[in-house]
Chain A
Amino acid sequence: MKPTADQQFFLGEYLREYLAYRETYAEFYDHILTALEGYPENISFYTALNNIIEEDFGGLGNIPVIEARYQQETLVEMKKRYWNYLMECLKFPSISIFIISSIIIYWFVKQAWFNFSLFFWIAIAMSLFQSILNNIRYIRLGYIVCFGYVFGNSKRSVKDTGFTWLKYSIVPLIILFAAFQHIFANDISTDWFKKAGPIVLTMIFTAYTIHAAAYYKIYRDEFKISIV
Chain B
Amino acid sequence: MSTNPLLKGTLHTIILKLLEGNNRMYGYEITQKVKEASEGGIMLTEGALYPALHKLQAEGLLKATVEIVDGRARKYYQLTGHGGKEATDKINEAQAFIDQLQNILNIKPAVK
Q: Which of B4-12, B26-34, B83-91, B94-102 contacts the other chain?
A: B26-34
Give the distance in Å from the alpha carbon of A130 to the alpha carbon of B48 in the complex.
36
Q: How many residues of B contact A (CB 8 A)?
A: 31
Which listed residue (B32, B51, B60) contacts A70, Cβ 8 A? B51
Which listed residue (B47, B59, B69) contacts A66, Cβ 8 A? B47
Q: Across the A-B interface, how many residue pairs have beta carbons closer than 8 Å?
A: 83
Question: Is there an interface contact between A65 and B47, defined as CB atoms closer than 8 Å?
Answer: yes
A73 at the interface (CB under 8 A from B): yes
Give the distance in Å from the alpha carbon of A116 to the alpha carbon of B61 in the complex.
49
Question: Is there an interface contact between A63 and B27, defined as CB atoms closer than 8 Å?
Answer: no
Q: How many residues of A contact B (CB 8 A)?
A: 31
Give the distance in Å from the alpha carbon of A55 to the alpha carbon of B74 in the complex.
20
B54 at the interface (CB under 8 A from A): yes
Residues of B within 8 A of A76 (CB): 58
Give the distance in Å from the alpha carbon of A223 to the alpha carbon of B62 in the complex.
18
B residues whose Cβ falls under 8 Å from a Cβ of A: 26-28, 31-32, 43-51, 54-55, 57-60, 64-70, 72-75
4 closest residue pairs by CB, A with B: A77-B58, A58-B47, A58-B46, A73-B58
